[in-house]
Amino acid sequence: MLDPMAALRRAVAGATLVGLAAAAPAPAAAQGKFLDVGKQAPITILINASPWYAGFEKAVDLYVKQTGNEVNLDVTPYGGMLEKARNAVRGSTSPYDILNLDSGWTIEFYEAGFLKPLGEIDASIKLPEEVLECGNTFWWNADKRYRTPAGGKLMGVPPNCNIHIVAYRADLFKQAGIEAPKTYDDVLAACKKVQNPPGLYGFVTRGERGNGIRYDFSTFMLGHGVDVVADASGGDYTVTMNSPKVLAALNQFITLMKTCAPTNAGSLGQADVIQLMSSGKAAMVQTVIAAWGNYEDKTKSAVAGKVAAAPVPQAVPGQKAGVAIGNWNFTVPKNTPADRQKAAVAFMKWFLTGEAQRAYAEAGGIPVRVDTLKSDLAQKPQFSWMPAYLASIEIGQPTLGFAESAEVEQVMGLRLNQALIGELAPAKALNLAADEIAAIFTRTGRKTGKLPPLPE
């Protein structure tokens, strides 16, 4: 169901944004000319009600205002996005002209042939070089069954490149005379120094079963230099989930959560983590960058103006930090009319311009262009997260880049959660996960294998 109030909301928000822009002296970059995409057919976008949505909505308002082209938004909770997208591509005509897909879902749609390569809609489309790679999840090489620009087709563009940052209470750190954490050891030390549970928890990240713990643990796992499989891009699906390095990462994660997080760490979701920080009950949280607005918004946060951002900490001191990219992808269904496909690509091209990205950032979005992230905006207090974000995104890597990702995530999400809550010993949990993941790859015909089991 499309929101009947959406047009009105967008009109009001757009007018507000334009009014604000007119009232305030615009920075140099914002005075640049926006891309003229001409008159286009009306389009409908399936978009998630994520923390970055408000910024995106305002960018859409600006597009509508500038071009006169109609854009309808079907704003959907995360839990309903995948099913709506699946239904849309299976009908005779898709109700949506742009599907926003979580990177974990893209392969299912690429492999099934539900999406139109963007180059087949508009031969002139190419990603501006300033746009972040975001793990290259919007490229698809059908022969390799892998997301890569090498021999791959451009299937979408990124509206958001989500990665983790550590948001911490700068005021508390200053009082305690400690620096922003650079490693997870620093996080543990700082947590012990500042925490005072249950009034103030030292460090919190998601521990709930499923995507939450799987994604948040990935910074620890990748930081130890290991992933779920040996080399997915090279076709080697030997399961490394139960390597000693992953065990070290899991022990590190559990130690942090047991020492610093609330008793209900095993059921903490994204809303809980954001709430703990915003209410002043957490000294440090590891959340996706998209959540940043919640900490700095005075109407939602008791700690606005007191929070600073640090890049993802190193899991092993001296080694590269593990940054897991969990981005979104704007894609075009095959079963949408040609004029609307063209209009969808026109919107994408406009959205990725420097001017639009700046407006998107100013409205609270997370821009996907390096030049926007390095612009004068980064010097302003409300954009203090930009340097930390940029430092992390440049070393980010995609996770679960294979067709079996949904099943593998279910396995990891369960076993990691069982280890965290103490239902299984860490080694036992990882051995079980490795067995189950190897069974998935065996069934799907991958070249797979297992490491020797960890001593339990």
Chain positions 189 to 208 lying near another protein, rule: CB under 8 A, are 198, 208
Q: Is 108 in the site for another protein (CB under 8 A)?
A: yes
Instruction: Find the binder of another protein among 53, 65, 406, 428 (CB under 8 A).
Output: 406
Q: Is 414 in the site for another protein (CB under 8 A)?
A: yes
Based on CB atoms, which residue is closest to another protein, 222 or 420? 420
- Return the beta strands (E) in 77-128 as ranges: 98-102
Q: Is 263 in the site for another protein (CB under 8 A)?
A: yes
2-10, 86-94, 394-402, 447-455 -> range binding another protein (CB under 8 A): 86-94
Instruction: Find the binder of another protein among 16, 31, 279, 379 (CB under 8 A).
Output: 279
Q: Is 364 in the site for another protein (CB under 8 A)?
A: no
* Of 410, 94, 429, 98, nearest in space to 241 by CA: 429
DSSP alpha helices (H): ranges in 132-236?
170-176, 184-194, 211-223
| Least distance CB 263 / another protein (angstroms) | 5
Q: Is 340 in the site for another protein (CB under 8 A)?
A: no
Exposed (0-12), middle (13-18) or buried (19+): which is 331, by Cβ within 10 Å? Answer: buried
Conformational region of residue 199, where left means phi above 0, alpha means psi within -120 to 50, and beta covers everything else = alpha
Q: Is 216 in the site for another protein (CB under 8 A)?
A: no
Separation CA 183–CA 147 (nearest Å):
30
Contact 40, 67 (CB under 8 A): yes
Record the tokens describing residue 427, joined without a space.
Answer: 């080694």
Angle between helices 184-194 and 244-260 (to 10 degrees): 20
Q: Is 407 in the site for another protein (CB under 8 A)?
A: yes
Q: What is the dihedral of CA 95, 97, 103, 107, to 10 degrees?
A: 80
Instruction: Find the binder of another protein among 313, 436, 450, 454 (CB under 8 A).
Output: 436
| Least distance CB 430 / another protein (angstroms) | 14
Instruction: Find the binder of another protein among 281, 300, 320, 428 (CB under 8 A).
Output: 281
Q: Is 210 in the site for another protein (CB under 8 A)?
A: yes
- Return the beta strands (E) in 9-163 as ranges: 43-48, 71-76, 98-102, 139-140, 153-154, 156-160
Residues of the shown chain interacting with another protein in the complex, contacts defined by CB under 8 A: 82-83, 86, 89-90, 108, 111-114, 198, 208-210, 262-268, 272, 275-276, 279, 281, 334-335, 406-407, 410-411, 414, 417-418, 421, 423, 432, 436, 439
